[in-house]
Structure 1
Amino acid sequence: MSAIRPTTVEVETSLRLVTPDAMGLPVRASLRFDPEDPYAVHVLFHAESATGEPVGWSFARELLVTGLDEPAGIGDVRVWPWASARGDLIALALSSPDGNALFEVPRSVLVRFLRRTYIAVPRGRESEHLDVDTAVTRLLAER
C-alpha cells in the first residue's frame, strides 16, 4: 500500500492594491501551499504586466499566521492586521528593487486558507514532509 500524500492547497481570491488616492485596485491572486514545500506559502498575482505573466512571491507560512494578529516580518514581506470600513482585513506589504506594493486581503480568506494548509501539513510536522535529498540534488544541479 502507498501512503496517502497531502494535496496542494490553492485558493483564488481578489486582493485590493492600495493606491495613493485610497481608491484601490482589485488584483486577482492565487494563494498556494505545496506540502512538498511545507514551510512556505506562495502568492501568484494575475495582474496585467508587460510580459503578461503572473508575478509570484513566496514567504514563510508562519509569517502569515503571525500577521493575522500582530505585525510580522522585516524587509521584503510584512503582514499585519488592518481594520477598515470594508471589514476585517490583513495588510500585505511587498518590497523589491522594482518597487513596493501594499495589498488588503480579507482576513476570512487567509484564515480559511491557513486552516486548509494545516490539515494538509499540521503545524510542527513540516519536517516530515521535506525531501532533503531531492532538495540538495536540485541545488547542486543548478550550479
Structure 2
Amino acid sequence: MHYTVVERELELRLVLSPERGIPVPARLAYRSDDPFAVHITFHINSDHPVHWTFSRDLLVEGVFRPCGHGDVRVWPAKAEGRSVVLMALSSPEGDALLEAPAAQVSAWLERTLRVVPPGAEGEQLGIDDELDELLAR
C-alpha cells in the first residue's frame, strides 16, 4: 500500500525554568497510513531518541488554544516576542515542557492537512471500502 510521509526537522527548546532552556533537535513525522497521529522524535543527550505519538487534532488545536489533558497538553504562547507552541509531556520516566516555533509547526501541519484533509482520516484507513464490501455480501 502506498502512503505519504511528511517530515520536518526542527529545533525545540526543553524548558528547564522560565529563564533556562536547552536546544533539542527533533523530527516531526506524519504518515498517511496512520492518519490520526503525529510522531515526534527528540534527540536528547542519550543513545536512544525519545518517541512520542499523539493526536494530530490535538496539535492542530494546540496551535490556537490550550487543549489536551493527561500525558499531553499543548497551548500557544509568546516567548521573547515570538509565537511558540508549548507541549507538556508526562510519562512514568518524567515530565518535559518543550517549546516549538509556532510558524514552523503550523507550516508542517498545513502540509499534513493537504495530504489528509481533516475528516478524511477514516478514508485513508480503507475502513469505508471494507464496510462497503461487508455490506455488499
Say yes or no: TM over 0.5.
yes
**Cross-structure match for 1:83:** 78
Mapping 1:22-101, distance limit 5 Å: 22-49=19-46, 52-101=47-96
Runs of 4 or more off by more than 3 Å in structure 1?
Answer: none
Paired residue for 2:122? 127
Offset at 1:97? 0.9
* C-alpha separation in 1, matches of 2:21 and 2:52: 20
Structure with higher strand content = 2
Q: Does 1:7 align with 2:4?
A: yes
Tell me the residue number matched to 1:141: none
In structure 2, the gaps of 5 or more residues are 128-137
Q: d(CA) in 2 for partners of 1:100 and 1:22?
A: 18
Task: Determine the C-alpha separation between the residues in 2 that align with 1:113 and 1:21.
Answer: 27
Pick from 94, 100, 105: which aligns with 1:105? Answer: 100
Letter in 2 for 1:78: R
Secondary structure of the residue that 1:68 maps to in structure 2?
helix
**Count of residues in correspondence between the two structures:** 127
Counterpart residue identity of residue 45, structure 1 = F
Distance 2:107 2:3 in 1: 17
Fraction of identical pairs, as percent: 46
SS of 2:34's partner is: coil
What is the alpha-carbon root mean square deviation over aligned residues? 1.5
TM-score (norm. length: structure 1): 0.84
Instruction: Report the TM-score when normalising by structure 2.
Output: 0.87
Q: Which runs of 5+ in 1 are unaligned?
A: 133-143
Give, in whole Å, the separation in 2 of the partners of 1:60 and 1:21: 27
Structure 1 128/21 Cα, relative in aligned 2: closer, same or farther at 3 Å?
closer
